[in-house]
Amino acid sequence: MPLDQQALDALVRLLDLEPIEVNIFRGVSPTERRQRVFGGQVAGQALVAAARTVETSNRMVHSLHAYFLRPGDPTVPILYDVDRIRDGRSFTTRRVVAIQHGQAIFNLHASFHTPEDGLEHQLPMREVPGPETLPDFKTRMEPFRDKLGELYDRPRPIDIRYIGPSPFERREARTAGQQVWLRANGTLPDDPVLHACVLTYASDMTLLDTTVLPHGLNWDDEGLQMASLDHAMWFHRPFRADEWLLYDQITPSTGDARGLATGSIFTADGRLVVSVVQEGMIRVRQGGRR
């Protein structure tokens, strides 16, 4: 089995939470050298926990709103406590609190909706090079292999391909946006909830990076401290996370040590399937690169 498919299978297992009690689930973190839990992981696991309590089989997530409260400890399990806020005729609402060391580290509200007919329109997808014409992560990042270290060699469950320069090549570009193609690096089961959770995981991988691009910075610059504060997603149309998706990201504003980024996710044939908004903390310590 290819290493990337193995990495994707490991991600699927990571999202497969252990039920502990009614409305309580336990998740773990991968055995990687991280100072804190990756935000996309806790968001994806929390969405899994919420979905596990939705008993109407055709009711799919249509939005989530989350706050990152404390850094997660990757060395201990995370408990997910689900509050069944409401079960209506068309909508279901859940609140999930992720807990470590007796404290809330993450809070998520998710809403699920039974599909209905209605008005429909969308913004068009911009014309961009196709994903197969672009280098994969390792090819693009080869010049920075020594700098990336273990991150370069690690098998990747998500295939990300930058359109235009990568963040490491973009120091003087001062652009207010970036576009990447992404997909799960292998084949996923057909469960649409799993596809939504995998995309939730992936949506946190590049979005906050966008907020520092206008300043000629990238996420690992000396003196730069970044952390996600909140994350919101709206799921508009069905999709598969193991097929190519265009993630078109822009940053409307940075200020007061915070940055805001928005993302539109399209299928390869131009359907807008998800909208994403994230705000993060951005601090440049004295003596750091400006």
Written as six digits, the tokens of 50 are 């919420």
Nearest alpha carbon to residue 24 among 43, 52, 44: 52
228 in catalytic set = yes
The Cα 141–Cα 192 span in angstroms is 32
| Residue where the block lists tokens 């309590």 | 53
73 assigned to active site: no
Catalytic residue among 159, 204, 221, 248: 204
Q: Which of 41, 178, 228, 264 is catalytic?
A: 228
Token look-up 């699920």 returns: 112
Q: Within a 13 Å sphere around the CA of 18, how many CA atoms are in the beta-carbon half?
A: 8
Paired sense of beta strands 245-255 and 177-184, if any: antiparallel
Question: What kind and span of H or E run contains 245?
Answer: strand 245-255
Establish whether 264 is a catalytic residue: no
Site of tokens 């994903």: 131
Could you list the beta-strand ranges (E) of 121-236: 158-163, 177-184, 224-235
**Which residues neighbour 260 within 8 Å (Cβ) at sequence distance 6 or greater?**
211, 251, 252, 253, 254, 277, 278, 279
* CB atoms inside a 10 Å sphere around CB 190: 8
Question: How far is Cα 214 from Cα 175, in angstroms, rounded to an integer?
Answer: 5
Task: Give catalytic residue positions.
Answer: 204, 228, 278
